[in-house]
Amino acid sequence: MYKRSFKKGTKPRCAHSN
């Protein structure tokens, strides 16, 4: 799921939070 955040351009921190 964190990969989706990266594609959107979100920071890796947000991915960890998700």
pLDDT at 7: 62
**Range 1-18 burial, b when 16+ CB lie within 10 A, else e:** eeeebeeeeeeeeeeeee
The owner of tokens 């890796």 is 12
Closest CA to 1 of 11, 13, 14, 15: 15
Euclidean distance between CA atoms 14 and 6, whole angstroms: 9
pLDDT at 15: 56
Q: How many residues does the chain have?
A: 18
For 1-18, the pLDDT digits (tens) are 556 656 666 666 665 555
